[in-house]
Amino acid sequence: MKSKILWTLIVATLTISHSYEGICSERNSSKRKIFDTSSESASESEIDDSSSKKTTKKPRKTHNKSHATENMGHVTELEAIIAQIPVTQKNAIKEAVERFNSAHPSQIHTKFGVGLRFPYPSSPARDSLKRGEKQSPYTPVNFVAPVVIDSVWAPGKSPQNAWADPEDISKIAQQIKDGRKRVIPFGESATGLPYRVVDGKPINPLGKTGISGRGELGLWGANPAADPVIFKINNHKLYVLLIKRNDGGNVISSEWAIPGGMLDTEDHRLSANAALRELKEETGVNLKNEKNSFFIGKVYAGYSNDERNTDNAWMETNVYSWLVKDQARTTFKIDQAEVTQAAWIEVTSDFLTDGHFFAGHGHYIRLAVLKLLSAR
């Protein structure tokens, strides 16, 4: 009996041991499966991550590409056109302009009123200013050109002959009530240039000229203009479109100028359009709907170094630049009442630094050249 019980215990022990090994084996197998699965999952996860990174990157690149194509349409073509200018030539032009700018840090300054079509009267105050002397007391000569008096606005008067303020500044407000559209409100600037109004009269923000009143200018205070700097590249050379002005035989007409002009009442805050209008009027070149041109941008806004400026009236301008392709329609048809010559002038280092330019136009051209050569 005892032996039978002993044998039963041995068998039970062996069975339990075998079952335990099986369980352990299954557990180890499960562990291996779990480890292997996690290992596979890790690999898949890395692939997913990198694949998701790749997937993320791909659309991003595509998006940038399409964004560049969509928003910078002409950039590649523009760069290709500018690249026609040899690098050595571009560098020489840039260096010459930078040297000139360093030597002439203040290129916007007061030119002492002398007039263009109507020479301003003799002024001891102006003569003293030119010599760098101070006149005490300062006694400018008052002058208004006859053409300005004849062109004062009046109801029913033709706009071509009604572009000037009255001599009595207090009457401007009544003119506005009567329907006059002044190109900019009295006391304001067309370019954001601050200035003072003292005893009812605007004061030239850059200083004294020796001449009070308006001289040849129609408006008290700022007289807004717009100027287009037009470039083209031909045979690996850069050219700028310039004119010589018809100023009644005055020596000023021998100077090269940008084909710009005064803003009309319809032009306010649309001075880029005004610049193109003036370009067409003075040279016959129409770029308003020209697909063969690139808008480079605004290059200057502010006071203009104009011979007509006085203590109480001055020129301000917004300057814009375009590059035309060589095949663009640029046949000249000049307005001989305003222009004696229009020409494509090669842009060289010497021309930019030694050329004779009207008012501040040399400064605007130099600014436009630097903007063009760095265009992207």
Give residue 134's pLDDT band: very low, low, confident or very high (50, 70, 90): confident
Of the listed ranges 19-33, 183-197, 283-297, the one predicted with least confidence? 19-33
Of the listed ranges 228-232, 276-280, 323-327, the one predicted with least confidence? 323-327
Using the predicted structure, report yes or no on whether residue 219 has a pLDDT greater than 80.
yes
Give residue 327's pLDDT band: very low, low, confident or very high (50, 70, 90): low
> Any idea what the Cα angle at residue 363 is, between residues 357 and 369, rounded to 5°?
105
Longest dimension (CA), the chain: 152
Say if residue 137 is preceded by a cis peptide, omega within 30 of 0: yes
The more confident residue out of 332 and 288 is: 332
Residue 134: C-alpha distances to residues 113, 127, 208, 309 (Å): 16, 10, 11, 19
Contact 303, 351 (CB under 8 A): no
- 13: its two tokens: 């022990």
The more confident residue out of 151 and 55 is: 151
CA–CA separation, 49 vs 191, rounded Å? Answer: 55
Which pLDDT does position 270 carry in this prediction? 72
Cα 129 to the center of its chain, rounded Å: 34
Give residue 118's pLDDT band: very low, low, confident or very high (50, 70, 90): confident
Q: Give the 3-state secondary structure of residue 347.
A: coil
Q: How many residues does the chain have?
A: 376
DSSP state at residue 178:
T
CA–CA separation, 353 vs 351, rounded Å? Answer: 6
- What is the mean predicted confidence (pLDDT) over 338-350? 92
CA–CA separation, 94 vs 86, rounded Å? Answer: 12
CA–CA separation, 135 vs 128, rounded Å? Answer: 6
Which pLDDT does position 75 carry in this prediction? 55
Query: Cβ-count burial of 113 within 10 angstroms (0-12 exposed, 13-18 middle, 19+ buried)?
Result: buried
Q: Give the 3-state secondary structure of residue 147.
A: helix
Which string of b and e fits 136-147 if b means at least 16 CB within 10 Å? Answer: eeeebbebbbee
Give residue 150's pLDDT band: very low, low, confident or very high (50, 70, 90): very high
pLDDT, one tens digit per residue, over 258-312 is 999 999 887 766 789 999 999 999 998 988 766 789 999 999 999 999 989 999 9
Which pLDDT does position 208 carry in this prediction? 94
Mean residue pLDDT across the chain? 80
Q: What kind and span of H or E run contains 363?
A: helix 361-373
Of the listed ranges 184-188, 198-202, 337-341, the one predicted with least confidence? 337-341
Of the listed ranges 102-111, 133-142, 253-262, the one predicted with least confidence? 102-111
Which string of b and e fits 18-49 if b means at least 16 CB within 10 Å? Answer: eeeeeeeeeeeeeeeeeeeeeeeeeeeeeeee
Q: What sign does the CA torsion over 156, 161, 167, 173 have?
A: positive
Which pLDDT does position 26 carry in this prediction? 42
Q: Give the 3-state secondary structure of residue 2.
A: helix
Give the domain ranges of the chain: 77-373
The more confident residue out of 69 and 145 is: 145
- 320: its two tokens: 């814009």
Q: Give the 3-state secondary structure of residue 102.
A: helix
**Fold held by 77-373:** Nucleoside Triphosphate Pyrophosphohydrolase (3.90.79)
Amino acid at 268: H
Of the listed ranges 2-16, 39-53, 148-162, 276-290, the one predicted with least confidence? 39-53
Of the listed ranges 18-32, 137-151, 164-178, 281-295, the one predicted with least confidence? 18-32
Contact 215, 305 (CB under 8 A): no
Give residue 123's pLDDT band: very low, low, confident or very high (50, 70, 90): very high
Which pLDDT does position 21 carry in this prediction? 45
> Any idea what the Cα angle at residue 361 is, between residues 357 and 212, rounded to 5°?
95
CA–CA separation, 186 vs 169, rounded Å? Answer: 9
Give residue 224's pLDDT band: very low, low, confident or very high (50, 70, 90): very high
Contact 88, 344 (CB under 8 A): no
Q: Give the pairing type, strands 221-234 and 197-198.
A: unpaired
Contact 108, 363 (CB under 8 A): yes
CA-based radius of gyration for the chain: 38
Cα 110 to the center of its chain, rounded Å: 24
Which pLDDT does position 331 carry in this prediction? 77
Which pLDDT does position 248 carry in this prediction? 60
What predicted TM-score, i.e. pTM, was given to this entire model?
0.77
A 10 A CB-CB count for 195 gives 18
